Amino acid sequence: KRLRHGYTIRKRSLTDRTRCHYPEVGDLDAPGIGEVEGHYQAVAASVGTLTHPIEHQDLDPVTAWFERHNRYSDWEAWLEHHPRVKEQVRQVKSRQGQLFHKAPFKPVVSFAYMYLYKRGFLDGRAGFDFALAMSFYRWQIALKSREKPVR
């Protein structure tokens, strides 16, 4: 089901390779993520917005979503133990992403933002499930970040 509320992704797509580049942030030895999967392109020009959304039709089962986000949470937790790399990644995030990064109680804030503030409840059960899943993802990051890194 397409979620119309609760979560809007402002994805940098349809980029001109002469005006954008992926930064080299030094996280190739981090677990759980591909070379550019979690990176944001730096843009040296103005950014336009499409008038219609790009439909992302993920036909994978929900288990694939959880497996993918488990890997992403490994990478996010790794960043917490590597401040220099974390700062490089943070610099190219949106203002909202930078503010959220500093928020306490991220799992609760994430759920409240998506389900209540952005009205994810209007998407019914799917909106609730997605807000809860994203909250769980934030909890995984926090839990893994508190774990002592294996040397």
Domain boundaries, the chain: 20-146
Q: Are 20 and 44 in contact (CB under 8 A)?
A: yes
**Model confidence at 146: pLDDT above 70:** yes
Using CB atoms within 10 A of its CB, is residue 136 exposed (0-12), middle (13-18) or buried (19+)? Answer: middle
Angle at Cα 56 formed by Cα 75 and Cα 130, nearest 5°?
60
What one-character DSSP code corresponds to residue 145? H
Is the pLDDT assigned to residue 36 strictly greater than 60?
A: no
Q: Model confidence at 49, in pLDDT bands (50, 70, 90)?
A: confident
Query: Would you say the pTM of this structure is higher than 0.85?
Result: no
